[in-house]
Amino acid sequence: MNFDNLKSAVAAAAALRGLTEYELYYMSDSSTSVETLKDEISSFSSGVSGGICFRCLFRGKMGYASTELMEESEMEALVDRAVENAEATEKEDTVGIFAGSPSYERTNAPTFAPMNAADLKALALSIQAENYKASEKVADGTQSYAMSAGVNVRLVNSHGLDLSNAYGLNVVYSEAVVRDGDNSENNFEFEEVKDGFDAAAFAKKAVLGAEEMLGAGTVASGKYDMVISADAMTSLLSAFSSVFSAKNAQLGLSMLAGKEGEKIAADIVNITDDPMREGLPAQTFFDAEGVAARRKSVVEAGVLKTLLHNRETAEKAGVESTGNASKGGYSAPVAISPYAFFIEPGETSEKELLALAGNGIFIKGFSGLHAGADAVTGDFSLQSEGFVLEGGKKTRAVKTFTVAGNFYNLLKDIAAVGNRTEHGVPGGLTVFGAPAVLVRGMSVAGKDND
């Protein structure tokens, strides 16, 4: 595939149909991954794929068509399909194709150097060996993975805008299985591979995370003060992140609609969104419409400063786009997504958080966020695991209980914010992060006293 030839073919087809505003969005990704089972490589896979999306303004409507068949002969049909789809679309397009921002910042991530197959194999095997070394309770079924994945994006349009970006990630995963008699537990950890990566420490974290849950009991239903771990808070933020989308607000699907400038969280809560957050590998300087991407404060001292906008929602709200237009893959229509979306750290250490909670529950993790969290209402009721806290100390592991609440209320009820953030597995350019937080009086459903 020669992109410039495709571009010319598209330009010729567009000119024939009298199209003056159009965009070609190309995305390709390549990945290599290795999986181990017992002491062997059990699976190796590599893939390359790429596709292009053509969108055009036709009689005031935006039409889309996309394909992975990237041959010049396909381009005419691609343009025709987009025109046909524009004809059937009823929504008036209010913003058209973007001419370009006055300036673009530079990303600060180092150039991505993909790991080769041999290094990935060696790395996965060394983590797997360390898993087995970490504890006698480690059982077969334990797996280690190493993966290298890179993405290339190019956006060209009829205004002459031509932007490109590349990013990637070398990452390892460990799924440790531990067994003690009839009891089994597993735990999943991931880490980006950088200089100084310590396979033994990584494996140990994965194994200890499983081991500490062996023999977990349950808790009685009731109200508890809680420390929600950085991991668990990150997953909760991720599940409710769509409430910060201006599109959802404008559709009546977010309770944050019209709340800019108002208090929506406790004073100690600060949330930022940053396409170039220091230390993160997946960065961009332009969004899916070609608008310059930039860092913004979303919540400052509990006050909502802005929702996340693309050009369409910004135009409707009478503000500037925040550069958050996104495409969930080359073929997706323009939507809105955060970049590195973080609750910023506060000043309380984890030990102090536990002491502040006194007697209560430490939430290690939530499960089933795609089902048990409703972003429209803010309500959640989530399967949880963690530890009972007595006198500010973790005394015993507990699982098979739920924590229920409302995300909007929880933001206001955060009583203390931890001083260390963690982040989740990045999905494209989006990654969520949060520190541990203290929240009082959360509802728990567990065992009832018969």
Partner 1 sequence: MLEKKLTEEILGVALSTGADFAEIYCELTRNGGIRLLDGKIDSISDNTVSGVGIRAFLGTRTVYGSTSDISREGLLRCAASVAAAMGDGKEERSIKLTERIFPNIHPVKIVPSAADMKFKTDLLREGCAAAKDYDEKIVQVIGNLITVDHTIQIANSDGLFTSDRHIRTRMAIAATASDGHENQTGFSGPGRGMGLEVFDLFPPREIGKEAARIAMVNLSAGYCPAGEMTVAIENGFGGVIFHEACGHSLEATSVGTGTSQMCGKLGQKVANEKVTAVDDGTIPGAWGSVNIDDEGHPTQRNVLIENGVLKNYMIDRLGSRRMGMPMTGNSRRQDYGFEPTSRMTNTFIENGPDKNEDIIASIEYGLYARSMGGGSVNPLTGAFNFSVSEGYIVRNGKICEPVRGATLIGTGTQILQDIDMVGQNCATGQGMCGSSSGSVPTDVGQPLIRVSKITVGGR
Site for partner 1 in 115-174 (CB under 8 A): 117, 139-141, 143
Which residue, 359 or 377, is less far from partner 1 as judged by CB? 377
402's tokens: 């739920």
Q: How far is CA 408 from the centre of its chain?
A: 20
Stretch that binds partner 1, among 87-95, 157-165, 224-232, 415-423 (CB under 8 A): 87-95
Distance CA 282, CA 112 (A): 9
For the bound state, the minimum distance from the C-beta of residue 348 to partner 1, rounded and expressed in Å, comes to 26
Q: Tell me, residue by residue from 311 to 340, as one string, x for binding to partner 1 by CB under 8 A and - for no binding.
A: --------------------xxx-------
Q: Strand 222-228 vs strand 61-67: parallel, antiparallel, or unpaired?
A: unpaired
Distance CA 132, CA 140 (A): 9
Which residue, 261 or 333, is less far from partner 1 as judged by CB? 333
Neighbours of 278 (CB within 10 A): 9
- Selected from 90, 111, 195, 278, the binder of partner 1 by CB under 8 A is 90
What 8-state DSSP symbol labels residue 243?
Answer: G
For the bound state, the minimum distance from the C-beta of residue 377 to partner 1, rounded and expressed in Å, comes to 6
Site for partner 1 in 243-282 (CB under 8 A): 251-253, 255
For the bound state, the minimum distance from the C-beta of residue 308 to partner 1, rounded and expressed in Å, comes to 19
For the bound state, the minimum distance from the C-beta of residue 272 to partner 1, rounded and expressed in Å, comes to 27
Angle value at C-alpha 114, between 6 and 282, nearest 5 degrees:
75
Site for partner 1 in 9-38 (CB under 8 A): 37
For the bound state, the minimum distance from the C-beta of residue 55 to partner 1, rounded and expressed in Å, comes to 10
Q: How far apart are the first and last CA of the chain?
A: 69
Q: Does 370 sit near partner 1 (CB under 8 A)?
A: yes
Which residue, 143 or 234, is less far from partner 1 as judged by CB? 143
Size of the site for partner 1 (CB under 8 A): 74
Whose structure tokens read 């049909």?
A: 77
106's tokens: 């530079």
For the bound state, the minimum distance from the C-beta of residue 316 to partner 1, rounded and expressed in Å, comes to 12
Which residue, 130 or 175, is less far from partner 1 as judged by CB? 175
Distance CA 292, CA 104 (A): 5
Which residue, 141 or 392, is less far from partner 1 as judged by CB? 141
For the bound state, the minimum distance from the C-beta of residue 106 to partner 1, rounded and expressed in Å, comes to 30
State phi, psi for 189 to the nearest 5 degrees.
-130, 155
Q: How far is CA 124 from the centre of its chain?
A: 24
Closest CA to 418 of 339, 365, 338, 356: 356
Distance CA 219, CA 43 (A): 40
- Selected from 4, 195, 278, 448, the binder of partner 1 by CB under 8 A is 448
Which residue, 333 or 358, is less far from partner 1 as judged by CB? 333
Q: Is 378 left (phi over 0), alpha (psi -120 to 50) or beta?
A: left
Q: Does 209 sit near partner 1 (CB under 8 A)?
A: no
Which residue, 339 or 366, is less far from partner 1 as judged by CB? 366
Stretch that binds partner 1, among 105-113, 293-301, 362-370, 418-426 (CB under 8 A): 362-370
Closest CA to 282 of 222, 331, 341, 344: 341
Please report how the helices 72-88 and 3-16 are oriented relative to each other, as an axis angle in degrees rounded to 10: 50
Which residue, 4 or 118, is less far from partner 1 as judged by CB? 118
Closest CA to 42 of 121, 95, 147, 155: 121
188's tokens: 């999943």
Q: Does 403 sit near partner 1 (CB under 8 A)?
A: yes
Which residue, 256 or 276, is less far from partner 1 as judged by CB? 256
- Selected from 58, 64, 173, 224, the binder of partner 1 by CB under 8 A is 64
Which residue, 100 or 114, is less far from partner 1 as judged by CB? 114
For the bound state, the minimum distance from the C-beta of residue 56 to partner 1, rounded and expressed in Å, comes to 13
Stretch that binds partner 1, among 225-233, 270-278, 396-404, 409-417 (CB under 8 A): 396-404
For the bound state, the minimum distance from the C-beta of residue 395 to partner 1, rounded and expressed in Å, comes to 21
27's tokens: 């995305």
**Which amino acid appears at position 116 of this protein?**
N
Q: Does 402 sit near partner 1 (CB under 8 A)?
A: yes
Neighbours of 125 (CB within 10 A): 18
Distance CA 321, CA 247 (A): 12
